[in-house]
Amino acid sequence: MFETKFVVVIREDLAVWQKLNVTAFLATGVAAAKPDIIGENYRDAAGNVHHAMSVQPIIILSADGETLKKIHERTLRRWQTASLYIDDMFSTGHDEANRAVFASYPPGEAQIAGISFHAEKKVADKITKGARMHD
């Protein structure tokens, strides 16, 4: 049905609240970068307007830390822009602090909590090799 995939990969050893938090943050990153994947507002039978959402499913995968590093490396090698959430961002309190702590690490050095991207199916499948459906 869709020629692309909207993918979020979360590190499997995170606490449940961290998995949910990281998934939400990463999904907003892709949505901000790819506004064409957001549909129209929803309206209920009474005419109340509700926010628009992604027009396609978001695939949620899980992986260990090493596999996440490989996935991140694959996005960089393929020039695939991604959203990345690192462990140190859990201890900051706002966006500016998140960006500052993120900028302090070169690629491959930070402990990755999750990554998300939107790509053609075949590319997404190659990038996420080793990850599995989140349960």
Q: Which residue reads 């900051």 in tokens?
A: 92
DSSP state of 14: S
Query: Can you give the pLDDT at residue 39?
Result: 95
Question: What is the pLDDT averaged over residues 61-88?
Answer: 97
Q: Is the pLDDT of residue 135 over 90?
A: no
Q: Is the pLDDT of residue 129 over 90?
A: yes
Query: Can you give the pLDDT at residue 71?
Result: 98
The residues, any chain, with a CB within 8 Å of residue 78's CB and separated by 6 or more, are: 123, 126, 127
Superfamily of domain 4-133: Bit1 (3.40.1490.10)
Does the model's pTM come out above 0.85? yes
Q: Distance between CA atoms of 115 and 94, rounded to whole angstroms?
A: 19
Report domain extents, the chain: 4-133
Long-range contacts of 37-42 (CB under 8 A, 24+ apart): 37/6, 37/118
